[in-house]
Amino acid sequence: MSLPLADILKLRTMVYIAGEPIAFFWPMRNFIHHNPLHGLEGLAFGDAVERGKTLFGARGFLKRHDYQRYLAEGTIDDAELCRGIRNFLASHDLPPGINWERAFHCLLTRVADPIALPVEIATPACILAALRGEPIADIVVDQRTLTERMQAQLGGDRPLCEVIDSLYGTKISETLDDLLIKTCLDFFDEGQSTMAMPGREHGFFRAWSRISRHNLKMFLRGLQIDRVLQGIETPEAMIARAMRIQGVPEEYWVGNFTRELARLHGWAGFIRWRQNARNYYWAQQYPADLVDFLAVREALVLALLHEEHRPGMPATVPELATMLEQRPHEVFLRLQSHSGTMLPEMAHRIHDTILRGKTPDIARMFDRYSTLLQVDEAHRSAAALKIWGDAADITPALQSLEPAAFGSLLTALRKFEAQEGMIWLRAMEGHAIDRFARGIDTAAPKQRAKRPFAQALFCIDTRSERIRRHFEAIGDYQTFGIAGFFGVPISLLELGKGHEAHLCPAIVTPRNLVLEMHVTAPMDETVAGVLAEALHELKNSILTPFATVEAIGLLFGFDLIGKTMAPVAYNRWRGKLFSDPPPTRLLLDKLSREQADSILRAVQRELIVKAIQHERGLPTERISDEIVRDVREVALRRLEPCETLAVALGLNLSGLEAFVERLRRAYRINRQFSRIQLERLGRIGFSLSEQAHFVGQALRSIGLTEGFSRFVLLVGHASVSDNNPYESALDCGACGGASGSHNARVLAQMANKVDVRRRLREQGIDIPEDVVFLGALHNTVTDDITLTDPELIPPAHLLYLDRLHKGLVAASRLCAQERIATLLPDRAKRPGTGAARRIALRNAVDWSQVRPEWGLSRNTYFVIGRRHLTQKLELDGRAFLHSYDWRIDPKRRLLESIITGPLVVGQWINMEHYFSAVDNETYGSGSKVYHNVAGRFGVMTGNLSDLRTGLPAQTVLRDGRPYHDPLRLITVIEAPVAHARAAVEGVVTVRRLVQNGWIRLLIVDSENGLLSLYIEGGEWRDQRLDTATLQPITTGERITA
Amino acid sequence: MLVLAALPAAIFLPLFPLSALFVLLFCRVADLRVRAVLVLLWPQIGLMLATLSAPSQALRVWALLTALFYAWRALSVQELDRWIAFIAVSAWSLLWMGWDTTHDLASLRLLALGFSLSLLTTMVVGSLLQRRVGVAYAGLNHGLPEVAPRLAGFLVVSVLCAVATPPFPSFFAIMGILHRSGLGMATGICTVWLIWSWTALRLLEGFITNSWKLPRRFADLDRMTSFALVLGLFVLCAMALGLSNASLAGQ
Amino acid sequence: MNNFQLSPLKKLEIILEGEHLAFATDLLDRANVKGYTIVNHLSGKGSHGFHEGHVMFNEDSVLVMLITAVPEELVQPLVEGFQPFFDHHSGVIFISDIQVSRLVKFKV
């Protein structure tokens, strides 16, 4: 059966739309923090969170008692809380006579659990009667409303198999998930297993369908996959068939697909990423997309539905609708029974009655049960309301309400508790904004007498905030914040690696390639290095365990004991066994045509020599340069094959032609490939004007255009830990989850070139002769800052190097002391600098440490402005600090580039932490203890589960409570109000983020002495700068939609 | 004739279909003490009523089939009470197998007691649970460890106790029966035992896994009760070990 | 002297946000369209507001246009195929009649 083209295309588009709410999942080798609700950013924050709750079953806000704890600790603004309550009450009509503001405030602050319990049957009148202590009148349940409510619950885009599960207690969805996960693990394996799934090159669906027709396990289970797959060639046809057999109306297909995909949102997100990744080797070899994934799932759905079918069970959506119409009582009892919330007293009898299936019995059972349920619900709701009433002293008032008024109160209460998360969130943000506003320094900075001893550019990462503070405090140093890739997106080909690494934010594609080259001759590998290599290979072989356990098992045991008992000392000793990596240089100047030709020639000659040695077995002395040159010319068709050459190689003419053909085909020494290689070589490096552009852009964006000091450090950052699948999450996000040292080196090398400086002088940035740019690396686990290329420091500067080193060491020790205190238990004493350093060093090598550092947890602010603004404020490592001087940016280009790039990355990081903190089980990845690495790109919990997305519990929680305060990113822009607003308006993505409430925006206008805060709904709240309380004095104009 | 004589015994040392009587009675009675007496005395009465001559092979096979049948039924049961009743019937049917002329009734009585005591622990913990949730229904009490970890722990231990896990008395009872049966019967008994453990895990799955969905919360066991239960279990095991040693020594 | 012949075809101009470019080109590929042209960095106004044309870091939020010439029988499947997409996203498809001289480049 083949579908018409229009249907195929339409189906593919539907699947694309259906997959949009599922966020991408990047392989964890380069962990990318992202917003799990990225696909829903078109909605307002509150709505998106609601939708996330429907799709993923996840909470969007903390539980009330968590917020109450924050309130007790003083991190929530009570006035803002009251304002939120007032806003809610203003739009709801509540019965007069009670101080509702006080009552609702009491509800939020003194009642631990929500009181508006969901009820199925009890009416407000029943609950009121229970509250008054009166007997509850038995009500007859209205069939119509009950049926409608169940139709809403079970119909629409809810997949049929989920409905069957909730009615019959079958485990179709779970089995489906398991089977699908197993298939995914087999298909997406990237060389980890020794036996691979056959036929993967044909695509996910085709490979699976071939195998599953012969799958013994499925056959034993009774799944007739053959029948389901009969006549189906393409995944689109499979999906269409499944939807038609289940009778799902076409308007619900997209919703249906989304729900199915959302069940395994980790794997679906991974497939979405993979089908988009153009240059991913595995995706090119073994293609798979969401349509394939969904097709496999739908095939299994059909098979399972068929297998689980019993008489009386609906097999299609229309049959389900008929069942709802004709047997609503049975449906209700079934739903209750399998939801796990049924009243236990009647559970067994109801179960039996349903099984027997006689309608009059069921109706009678329904009546009895509904009465019981009604009474139970009424009493529970009344008890909950009484708790509130007693706490707020309004119980008598509640009891004396009229039933109609009571009903409207209950509705209002339900709505309030559904929205209370936003009210708490705004109150918490209010406090954070207030704290910030009180601590900033908006006075004009004093003019410096002389230039600082050294300047350092750190990444905007929140961890830099601490070390910048300490660095500035211990000497005459000035620090700046810039995105961790220093504005230079590069693709790096490291020494000895076979692929390029993209060192830039995930949203950018780098256009230039940089090579890392040896300085000295290649060193001999030490014995230890070779042994390590051999051991690693052994671990992967399937036969290894049998042969080598006795032989070398002890070696592994030795390693195990050493790593566990004395990690720091053992690692230091092991490090001595291996030679230091050779010093390298980066090749980043564009090659001239001659240079490129020469490199290509050299590479091809190497290959030819190897080919002759390998194929013809000639020793090196017999292979002269002329022979190699001639062979090359023949291969490139610039020369005809001749006798002498053939003889020199020990062949006849035809043999020579065969050999050359092999060179052309297998070794790719031919004209077309040479052209491609030259193109690739052309990608290497940056032209002079590009270099000047990047350096100028970087310096201008942070406002450093004059007053350069002798040393300008470019400090990238990276994290070192052992046995940590999330290691990449702690590295620099702006560098795509890699170390920032390479970009630092690149920019430093560029900025030190005389030609570049000449160009910059023409553009107005005058860098004096004695300024040297140095790359450095900040290890965020130990807080060490090491210079990456100390040999490149000119001799004149060596005099001052000592002072710089002392400064760096002091800053890192103080910073470690402050930071390690947060990793120790709450009541521990603050450690001394020596003790802190020891702990930090141990964290970097201890393979049992689940929390080597807190990373970006507790990130709250994103400040775009001069350092002077925040210099006096201790932000506890909670702020992204990007230096910016609005005075040199009249066209707002620099501000726009900052908000379009680094701010968006910051928002992703913030949202990742937010959602992992509020619901770690669904949006986060749970505890690290149960993680198993799957296929080298992700983790699962246990031996088989969905790919875990988000951050682990150890990163955002502490002792079960949130350590990261879940707030939306508070973006602060230091610029005149009109300037900042125009910039935000001009960038579509950021404008949408602000309007939909994904980030908060605060503008600090030191020129005019104003603070302007964006409130949801298009309003701004302004206040004068010398008072510290945020009282509204004007509501500014609306931001246009 | 022999069959007719065995009839009253078949009620108390249950054989299908007379076993239904016990199940009915057990589920009807609500009070823990009455149930305890029922569980302790029922097999003893059965043993008293049985004639002293060994039962025929046919009767033994029927007893084994009864045991298998009730074990299999217990697989799909979700109420704790019913489960206990089914396991009780299954266990006591096995006693027919342990009966041969070389051993006297006294040792059989000890075996029966072993079963009864093990079931008693489950009943005690079950009643503690019932007092808190109303009806101990697996599937409606998912996530018990979240709410009452101590109670959940004791539930696990007591359910395992009922299905002849060492070192509880029922284990030694089964060992005793196996000791006295031929190869064919022994295979049958081991199958029954296997199914018991399967039912135990299925039942526990309904209590221990997933998370707590019901809105009601309640207090866990206090330290005194927990301590008493632990003590009780220790005493039970010690007794079982001691008695089994004695019975083995006396072979 | 010259065998100059023009053949009629339909031109589709598809304007959508840059982040969906991969999806659109994939759909065209699956419809066996022989080729297409991509025009980048457009600016314009639609029901969702004004789009600035310049791009900084983020290439996703700019508008792009795909131009392709297809035989008549592909128009309806393609328009139907894109329809669910444009129900949820901003963008348009313009269909016009054109003529091409080298039909072999556009039609199988």
pLDDT in tens, B142-164: 888 888 889 999 999 999 999 98
Distance from CA of A13 to the nearest CA of C (A): 6
Over its C-alpha atoms, chain A yields an Rg (Å, rounded) of 34
User: Residue A583: is the preceding peptide bond cis (ω within 30°)?
Assistant: no
Collapse the DSSP code of A84 into the 3-class scheme (helix H, G, I; strand E, B; otherwise coil) and give the result: helix
**Residue A932 and residue A944: Cα distance in Å, rounded?**
9
Cα distance from B140 to chain A (closest Cα, Å)? 5
Q: Where do runs of H (alpha helix) occur along A919-1006?
A: 953-956, 977-986, 988-995
d(CA A1014, CA A1017): 9
Asked if A901 has any chain C CB less than 8 Å from its own CB, the reply is yes
Which of A633, A673, A672, A674 minimizes the C-alpha distance to A656?
A: A633
In 3D, which of A908, A913, A944, A940 has the Cα closest to residue A926? A940
Q: Which residues of chain C are within 8 Å of residue A9 when distances are taken between CB atoms? A: 27, 30-31, 77-78, 80-82
Residue A897 to residue C61, Cβ atoms within 8 A: no
- CB-nearest partner of B79 from A117, A340, A348: A348
- Within 8 A of A16 by CB-CB distance, chain C residues are 23, 85
CB A253 within 8 A of CB A317: no
CB proximity B215 to A under 8 Å: yes
Closest residue by Cα to residue A316 from A326, A306, A307, A325: A306
Of A9, A254, A897, the CB nearest to C30: A9
C88, closest residue in chain A (CA to CA): A17
Distance from CA of C45 to the nearest CA of A (A): 12
Measured on CA atoms in the order A344, A345, A351, A352, is the torsion positive or negative? positive
Is C72 an interface residue toward A (CB < 8 Å)?
Answer: no
A697 touches chain C (CB under 8 A): no
Which candidate from C49, C57, C80 shows the least CB-CB separation from A901?
C57
Interface test with A, best of C41, C57, C80 (most A CBs within 10 A): C57
Contacts 24+ apart (CB under 8 A), A58-63: A58/A915, A58/A919, A58/A922, A58/A923, A59/A918, A59/A919, A59/A922, A60/A421, A60/A915, A60/A918, A60/A919, A61/A420, A61/A421, A61/A422, A61/A424, A61/A425, A61/A918, A61/A966, A62/A421, A62/A424, A62/A917, A62/A918, A62/A962, A62/A966
Where are chain A's structural domains? 5-33+171-313, 454-508+686-974, 527-581, 591-683
CB contact under 8 A, C84 and A17: yes
A509 Cβ under 8 Å from any chain C Cβ: yes
What amino acid is encoded at A704 in this protein?
L
pLDDT at A1031: 45
Nearest CA in chain A to B215: A341
pLDDT the model gives residue A398? 87
Q: Which residues of C touch A12 (CB under 8 A)?
A: 26-27, 30, 81
| Mean of all residue pLDDT scores within chain A | 87
Nearest beta carbon to residue B135 from set A339, A341, A344: A344
Query: Shortest CB distance from C77 goes to which of A9, A989, A1041?
Result: A9
In order of A2, A234, C85, the CA distances from A239 in angstroms are 12, 9, 18
Tell me the nearest-neighbour CA distance from A933 into chain B, angstroms.
Answer: 23
pLDDT tens digits along A183-212? 999 999 887 777 788 889 999 999 999 988
Contacts of A1033 (CB under 8 A, 6+ apart): A1022, A1023, A1024
Q: Are residues A897 and C80, on separate chains, in Cβ contact within 8 Å?
A: no
Three-state secondary structure call for residue A931: strand
Chains B and A touch (3+ CB pairs under 8 A): yes
- Mean pLDDT across A686-698: 93
Task: Give the count of Cβ contacts less than 8 A between chain A and B.
Answer: 37
Interface contact A340-B215, CB threshold 8 A: no
Do residues A23 and A269 make contact, with C-beta atoms less than 8 angstroms apart? yes
Partner A contacted by C63 (CB < 8 A): no
> Per-residue confidence at B105, pLDDT binned at 50, 70, 90?
confident
Axis crossing angle, helix A893-900 with helix A902-918, rounded to the nearest 10:
30
A898 or A678, higher pLDDT: A898
Q: What is the pLDDT confidence band of residue B3, given thresholds at 50, 70 and 90?
A: low
pLDDT tier at A843 (50, 70, 90 boundaries)?
very high
Q: Is A348 in contact with B78 (Cβ distance < 8 A)?
A: yes
Band (pLDDT 50/70/90 cuts) for residue A71 is very high
CB A971 within 8 A of CB A999: yes
**Arithmetic mean of pLDDT, B246-251:** 59
- Chain C contacts in chain A segment 5-44 (CB below 8 A): 5-6, 8-10, 12-14, 16-17, 20
Look-up: residue for tokens 């929205």?
A: A419
Q: What's the gap in Å between the CA of B135 and the closest CA on chain A? A: 5
Q: Give the SS3 label for residue A172.
A: helix
pLDDT for A47 beyond 80: yes
Token representation of residue A869: 């603004």
Nearest chain A alpha carbon to B206 = A340
Measured distance CA(A148)–CA(A132) in Å, rounded:
31
The confidence score (pLDDT) of residue C7 equals 86
Q: Is pLDDT at A84 greater than 50 in this prediction?
A: yes
pLDDT tens, residue by residue, A217-257: 778 777 888 888 888 889 999 999 999 999 999 999 999 99
Q: For residue A1041, give the nearest of C27, C49, C77 by CB distance.
A: C49
Sign of the CA dihedral with A668 first, then A672, A678, and A680 last:
negative
- Please give, rounded to a whole number of angstroms, the shortest distance from the CA of A588 to a CA of chain C: 21
Q: Which residue has the tokens 């009344």?
A: A382
Which tens digit of pLDDT belongs to each residue from A331-345? 999 998 888 778 877
Place of tokens 């030679």: A579
Q: What is the pLDDT of residue A320?
A: 92
Considering only A47-61, A246-260, A687-701, A817-831, which range has the smallest mean pLDDT?
A: A817-831
DSSP string, A426-481: HHHHHHHHHHHHHH---SPPPPPSS--SEEEEEES-HHHHHHHHHHHHHSSEEEEE
Q: Decide if C29 touches A, using CB distance below 8 A.
A: no
Is B28 an 8 Å CB contact of chain A? Answer: no
List A1003's β-bridge partners, or say none.
A973, A1012
Strand A969-974 to A861-865 pairing? parallel
Q: Is the pLDDT of residue C53 over 70?
A: no
Q: How far apart are the first and last CA of chain A?
A: 48
Residues of B in Cβ contact (< 8 Å) with A351: 78
How far is residue A839 from each of residues A509, A566, A830, A849, A863, measured CA to CA in Å? 39, 13, 12, 11, 31
Q: Residue A1030 — very low, low, confident or very high, per pLDDT cuts 50/70/90?
A: very low
Instruction: Please provide the distance, in angstroms rounded to a whole number, between the alpha carbons at the two ends of chain C.
Output: 27
C58, A6: Cβ pair inside 8 Å? no
Choose among A340, A342, A380: nearest Cβ to B142: A340
- Contact predicate A660/A631, CB 8 Å: yes
Interface test mutation site (partner B, options A339, A343, A352, A355, max chain B beta carbons within 10 A):
A343
Mean pLDDT is lowest, of A55-69, A309-323, A601-615, for: A601-615
| Residue bearing the bigger pLDDT, B59 or B73 | B73
Q: How many CA atoms lie within 13 A of B5 on its CB side?
A: 11
| Interface present between C and B (3 or more CB pairs within 8 Å) | no
A700 backbone φψ class: left, alpha, beta (φ>0; ψ -120 to 50): alpha
| B176 pLDDT higher than 90 | no
| Residue C82 pLDDT grade (very low, low, confident, very high; cuts 50, 70, 90) | very high
Q: Strand pairing partners for A42?
A: none
User: Which one of A120, A346, A348 would you mutate to disrupt binding with B, by most B Cβ within 10 Å of its Cβ?
Assistant: A348
Say if residue A352's pLDDT is above 90.
no
Backbone angles phi, psi at C104, to 5 degrees: -60, -25
Q: Which residues of C touch A986 (CB under 8 A)?
A: 52
Q: At residue A456, what are phi and psi to the nearest 5 degrees?
A: -135, 135
Percent of chain A with pLDDT strictly greater than 70: 94
Domain boundaries, chain B: 33-248
Indicate whether A986 pLDDT > 60. Answer: yes
